[in-house]
A and B are shown apart, each in its own frame.
Chain A
């Protein structure tokens, strides 16, 4: 399947035009202040690829922060009639994801296609093409290589672009969806020749042994002290989960007025104290340390058990976005050490 070509950077303008002409919307990193966010763009000129990582992840394309699951109207005496329109999410190209984000789709799919296939997620994913750009730089929060990924990893991407010179990208066309994009403007893609991507990739050091972690973390489960210490600074905001490309928890809300309503699915976070609050007032995870433990265990232990993969792609967003500088890698290393020492 995989095919390697070269595309000039200045040809991307044309590719964007063709893509949009084909009826696809394009989401790509846009700079805002010191950060970059995935937003809809109309031309390549709006795109900013200077950041190591966008603040928000690309999961918005397949798992929006606020998504209508159902719409209904109230008729006479409050009789409910449902909006039967078929679910037709926009055909989307996400451009400029990093390989870690592309990889996160597998983790999301594992959840949304697990026991009951989630038509909303699956339909959106089916209509989404991922054009990733390899990392040529990384920062101290990046740890993709520790969790099985890498700065030039192709997993999850439909096309992976790697800048091989100031003017050119090496384009790995990885899937049919990728081919379909190429087919929009085949003339823009030249033969690759001997270009190699590896020399251009960022160096991301391995920070911990993930296999060891998988074994040691469960040992720490009952070590309340370590979880308490780690989470003492935690404010219980949901930021880590909201910026995380693999966090899939959601809340369902009905919003209705006299005329009708909509059932919405919105992001949620296990960091919130209300996340597990029962109507009775009982809260099985009643302190922040338990919630922090849940988050870590879920990503590095439960996910492995149930989905056969990690729930973390090492993008480092949680560490960057945490308002109180809770650093995931730092904590993971500590946990590994703790587990090792029993």
Chain B
């Protein structure tokens, strides 16, 4: 922890960066929240513990945050992968952000100034679903189709279309989301059942091959819809079908921008 604070102080003192995005204590003992550290002494307030799960990469593209100057960011492996994925989608340039990579156990902190270093860093941490997540997915997959439909309908029925899932997702950076495209109006704006189903399917498809499974969308959902299951399912499919895993490199190929001549196609007549 001291290591992190020292690094942050150093970076700010040297003027290498103007702000560091990290975590600080939140409203209660169970919560951590984002910190934008701009003075070396503010580094004292930084924390790094199991509460710190938000994918802070979402702030790297926020215009107001960009105005702070050059940024450093405290990144667990998932956030680091997010940064690489954003890089592969031309949203971040090499050297634009200094990443303070936190090892999976949350102890070691390494300064990663280039994408190459970041790639090595994430390469050491296996990506993919946890056993717990796999069990939950398998549970839904194990349902009959009618049960799955009923399950998701009951979940989606609560959706209020606040788009917190979109706001929290670092990969949802479109300057105009498809739901706001009204010529034509692809997805009904209204939070009725049809509009909700279409929104959640489209959101998931748009993240297919791009989702880093940080879980911020589900955490952000005020209605408790487990919508990260959808993107997890697609991530699993993309991995199984194409060997595609998002966030491995800054020049990574997007699973849907490429193909193999022998991609499986058992379902096509």
A binds B: yes
Q: Which residues of A contact B27 (CB under 8 A)?
A: 140-141, 319, 325, 327, 330
Tell me if A287 counts as interface (CB < 8 A to partner B). yes
Pick from B54, B166, B191: contact of A267, CB under 8 Å: B191
- The answer to whether the Cβ of B150 comes within 8 Å of any Cβ in the partner chain is no
Q: How far is the CA of A289 from the CA of B64 in the complex (A)?
A: 9
Contact A238 B163 (CB under 8 A): yes
Q: How far is the CB of B36 from chain A (nearest CB, A)?
A: 5
| Given A237-B168, A266-B191, A323-B216; A228-B161 close (CB under 8 Å) | no
In this complex, the interface size class of chain B, counting residues with CB under 8 Å from chain A, is 35 or more
B127 CB to nearest chain A CB (Å): 23
- Is the beta-carbon distance between A239 and B162 smaller than 8 angstroms? yes
* CA of A238 to CA of B189, assembled, Å: 14
* Chain A residues at the B interface, C-beta cutoff of 8 Å: 32-35, 37, 55-56, 65-66, 140-141, 228, 231-233, 235-239, 241-243, 251, 253, 255, 264, 266-267, 269, 272, 274, 287-289, 319, 321, 323-327, 330
| B interface, CB within 8 angstroms of A | 26-28, 31-34, 36, 54, 58-59, 62-65, 158, 160-164, 166-168, 180, 185, 188-192, 195, 216, 219-220, 222-224
Residues of chain A within 8 A of B167, CB atoms compared: 235-237, 323
Q: Are A266 and B64 in contact (CB under 8 A)?
A: no
Neighbour of A323 across the interface among B28, B36, B161, B168, CB < 8 A: B168
A233 to B62, CA, bound (A): 9
Beyond A37-B223, A140-B28, A243-B222, whether A266 also contacts B162 by CB under 8 A is: no
Give the chain A neighbours of B223 by CB distance below 8 A: 35, 37, 55-56
The chain B residue sitting closest to A286, CB to CB, is: B63
Whether A242 contacts B162 in the complex (CB less than 8 A), given A236-B167, A237-B168, comes out as: yes
Besides A35-B223, A37-B223, A56-B222, 10 more A-B contacts (Cβ < 8 Å) are A55-B223, A228-B64, A232-B36, A232-B65, A233-B59, A238-B162, A238-B163, A266-B189, A266-B190, A323-B168
